[in-house]
Structure 1
Amino acid sequence: MDHFDRVLGGMFASLLAGFLLGYFSVIPFLTGLFGGSLLATIFLWDAIIRNPPVPSEELRYSAAIVVWHCCLFVTLVAV
Structure 2
Amino acid sequence: MVSYYDRLLVAIAAAVLAGAASGLHPAVAPHVGLAGGSIVSTVFLYEALFRNPPTRPTRSTTAASVVVGVGWVSTVVLLV
Aligned residues of 2:19 and 2:38 also touching (Cα < 8 A): yes
1:44-76 deviation per Cα after TM superposition (whole angstroms, max 9, x unaligned): 122122211112339xxx4x8745642442231
Moved over 2 A (4+): 64-72
SS across alignment from 2:40: helix
Structure 2 residue 11 is matched with structure 1 residue 32: no
Q: CA separation of 1:11/1:71 partners in 2, compared to 1, >3 Å: closer, same or farther?
A: same
Structure-2 residue corresponding to 1:74:
74
Alignment of 1:1-79 (within 5 A): 1-57=2-58, 62=63, 66-67=66-67, 69-79=69-79
- Between the aligned partners of 2:50 and 2:66, the Cα distance in structure 1 is 12
Q: Give the distance between the partners of 1:36 and 1:72, measured in 2 at CA.
A: 12
Using structure 1 for the length normalisation, give the TM-score: 0.77
Mapped partners of 1:23, 1:65: distance in 2: 32
The answer as to whether partners of 2:19 and 2:34 remain within 8 angstroms in 1 is: yes
Gaps of 5+ in 2: none
Partners of 1:16 and 1:24 lie apart in 2 by 13
Query: Match of 2:15, as an amino acid?
Result: S
Where in structure 1 are there 5+ consecutive unaligned residues? none
Which has the larger helix fraction? Answer: 1
SS in 2 for 1:55: coil
Normalising by structure 2, what TM-score?
Answer: 0.76
Instruction: Count how many residue pairs are aligned between Structure 1 and Structure 2.
Output: 76
